Structure 1
C-alpha cells in the first residue's frame, strides 16, 4: 500500500515525504479502520458481519484557559459543554447500542490533537465537535484628534457585528482564503499547547507534500462527513434556523480523523437573540433534538449500505 502511495508522488517530493513519517502512519491507521469498519465495498463483501455504528465521540469545543469567545452574559465553552452532555445523554437513551465517549466533561483544556486522538484510539465511528460561532472583533476609526504638532491622529474603537446569525457545519478541507474567520478562531488554541509543533507535525497547509498526504486521509471519509453534516443542517432548518451551509475548512481538530468527523456551530454567541436561545433549556433541547435526529438518520443509512 505504501508503494502505491509513493507511486502517486513525484520522485522529487519523496525525500520530504520520508521525513513526514508521523503523517504517513495516520494513513495506515485510516486504511485499517476503513477495512475493519466495512467502509470499503470489498470489505463488506468479504465479511458476514454488517457494519454498525458502535462508538460516537462527542467533543465540547474549547475549555479551560481556551475560552475567550463570549457573548453578553455567557461563554462559548460553557454552552458547548452543556449541549454536548445533553446530546450524549440523548444518544444513550435513544440509541442503546451506541457507546458515547466525551473529550471533556468539565471546564478543562484538552489539546486539539488529543481530542481527535481520543476518537482514533477508541476506533470511533463518528466524531462530532460542538461549538458556538462568533463574529470577529475589529478595530475601526471612530474619529480623529490632533497632536501637539497639529497632525491628525486616528481614534480607534472595537466593534463586533451582533446581527449575524445562523448555523453551519464543517468538514475537513482546505476552503477559500476569504472564508478563514472560523478557521483562525477555532485553530488558535494550538498556540496554547506546549510543543505544538511536534504534536501537529505533518499538518502544514503551505507544504505541497503534506497537502497530498492529508488529502488522501480526508478523501477517505469526505463523503460520509458531508452526509452527516448535511443531515444536521437539514434538521436545523426544519426548526426554523438560518442555514449557513456545509463547508470544508482546514480545522486542526478534524484534520487527522480516522472516521467521519464534523464540527457544528450551533449559533452565534455574538448575536443576543441566539445567545439567549443557546442558553435556554428549550433552545438546548431543540438543538440536541436536531443533532440526535441527524445521527439517527445517518446511522440508519450507513448501516444499510
Structure 2
C-alpha cells in the first residue's frame, strides 16, 4: 500500500513534497553531485580531450558580408557552419558544439570570441567567403590564423573582415580605439594568440590539405593577418575563407548543396584528424 502511494505521488512532486520523498530527492541530488564530481575528475585526468568547439558563421543580420551575383556571404557561411556542426555531432556525440549564431542575425565581433571563452572552448572555427575587387578570375581557399600580415592581400582581407565593427555601437570604446582602416592597427592584435599559434597553424594546415584532397579545391595556403574575431579567443583559432564569391564558377559551387557538403566535409575531416592527433599526443 505504501509503494502504491509513492508511485501515485511521484508525478505530483512539483506540487507536494512529502518527508519521505524529500529524503529520496536528497539522495538523488547527492548522487547527481557525485556523478558531476566524477565527470570533472575524468576530465582532469584527460587534459588533451577536445570537449567543446565553437563554430562561427561570419557576418549575419544587417551585415551581409561580401556577395556574388546570386548569394550573400552571410547565407553561405551559415549553411557551411550548420552542416559542419551536424557532422561533428553525428560522429562525436560527446563533443559540445556551440554556434555563435544559428540564424540570420548580427553578432558583434568581440562577442564571438567571448562566447568561446565563456564556454572554455578547445577550438574556435570561423567560416567566411572571400572576394577579389580587382578580378573575377581569382579563386581558391585559404585559412588564416591571427598574426602580422605578410602581404598586401592578407592585409586587405583582414581590413574587409574587421570593417564589420563600424556597424557596432560604441566600437571605439569596445575595441580601445582600433581603426580597421589603419595598417598599423593590426600590429596590436598579433601577440594575443601567441600561446596558441602552433596549434592554430597545425589545424589550419590540415584544413587546407583536406580542401585539396577531399574537395578538389585550389588551396591558396595558410596565412596570417590581424582578425578581430580571433583577437581574444583563448584557444587555437582559425578563420576559413571557403572560396571567392566574386568568381562566378566558385559562387555557383559554394551556393550549391554539393559544394556546401564537400566544403563542410573537408573541414570536418581536418577537424577529426586534429582531434585524434591532440588526444593521442603525450
Q: TM-score, normalised by structure 1?
A: 0.73
1:290 alignment partner, one of 262, 266, 278 = 266
Deviation by residue 1:125-150 (Cα, 9 ceiling, x = unmatched)? 000000010112xxxxxxxxxxxxxx
Q: 1:79 to 1:252 in 2, by over 3 A?
A: same
State the secondary structure of the residue aligned to 2:144.
strand
**Is 2:108 aligned against 1:111?**
yes
Matches for 1:169-180 after TM superposition, within 5 Å: 169-176=143-150, 178-179=152-153, 180=155
CA distance in 2: counterparts of 1:227 and 1:118, whole angstroms: 23
**Which residue pairs with 2:230 in the alignment?**
254
CA distance in 2: counterparts of 1:87 and 1:207, whole angstroms: 32
CA distance in 2: counterparts of 1:66 and 1:260, whole angstroms: 26
State the secondary structure of the residue aligned to 1:86.
helix
2:164 alignment partner, one of 185, 189, 206 = 189
Runs of 4+ in 1 over 2 A off after TM superposition: 47-50, 201-208, 214-217
**Is 2:254 aligned against 1:278?**
yes
Matches for 1:89-238 after TM superposition, within 5 Å: 89-136=86-133, 160-176=134-150, 178-179=152-153, 180-201=155-176, 206=184, 211=188, 215-238=190-213
Matches for 1:259-270 after TM superposition, within 5 Å: 259-270=235-246
CA distance in 2: counterparts of 1:79 and 1:66, whole angstroms: 13
Offset of 1:255 from its aligned partner?
1.1
CA distance in 1: counterparts of 2:185 and 2:267, whole angstroms: 35
**Which residue pairs with 1:4 in the alignment?**
none
CA distance in 2: counterparts of 1:93 and 1:64, whole angstroms: 28
Structure 1 alignment gaps of length 5 or more: 1-46, 137-159
1:81 alignment partner, one of 78, 81, 100 = 78
Computing the radius of gyration from Cα coordinates, the structure with the larger value is: 2
**Which residue pairs with 1:29 in the alignment?**
none
CA distance in 1: counterparts of 2:263 and 2:120, whole angstroms: 26
Offset of 1:288 from its aligned partner?
1.0
**Is 2:69 aligned against 1:72?**
yes
Contact kept? 2:206, 2:274, Cα under 8 Å: yes
Offset of 1:217 from its aligned partner?
3.1
**Aligned residue pairs, count:** 233
| More strand as a share of residues | 1
Offset of 1:203 from its aligned partner?
5.6
Identify which range, 48-57 or 162-171, moves more after superposition: 48-57
